[in-house]
Amino acid sequence: MLLSLVLFFLLITISNGENDYLHLRVINPSTLPFTYRLSPGQIGPHFNTTFTSTSLVVTEPPHACELVSNAHEVNRNIALIIRGGCSFVTKAINAHVAGAVAVIVYDFNRKAIHTFSMIQDDTSRRVQIPCAFMNGKDGYVICILKF
């Protein structure tokens, strides 16, 4: 199932100047009228665009540790992937192969309210699409409410 959204990627430096954040605003469905804070990944290129006609699609399998079987839905959209099972690089590459234009990984801990950096793994593989990390609480809210 697809989730229509608008992504506003605004770099905002928090008071200690150490972290920048991106912000995700979902415009449809209206049951998700919030702005969600994301941490930009340290893999892949920077977000340099606003996605205005893009859907957020949960990958199948949800961990995206192997080829994504719902590539027909992921293609030209943003892949929403749960953390765990393999490296962030593997997840991003599998989403890219399925045609995703960007990746958002959310924490597997449903109560987690913090984000952290998505880093390169020990391989020489390079991610070709922008990536960001969302806390588990927000990720699960989006997954539950969109269905």
Domain extent listing, the chain: 2-146
Domain 2-146, second-level architecture: 3-Layer(bba) Sandwich (3.50)
> Which residue has tokens 């989403």?
95
Query: pTM of the entire structure?
Result: 0.82
Backbone angles phi, psi at 90, to 5 degrees: -60, -45
What dihedral do alpha carbons 58, 94, 126, 83 form, nearest 10°?
50
pLDDT tens digits, one per residue of 56-71: 889 999 999 999 999 9
End-to-end CA distance of the chain: 7
Residue 95 has what pLDDT? 98
pLDDT digits (tens, 9 = 90+) for 98-120: 999 999 999 888 776 666 666 67
Which run of H or of E encompasses 139? helix 136-146
- What percent of the chain clears pLDDT 90, i.e. is strictly above it? 39
Buried (b) or exposed (e) across 6-28, using 16+ Cβ within 10 A? ebebeeeeeeeeeeebbebbbee
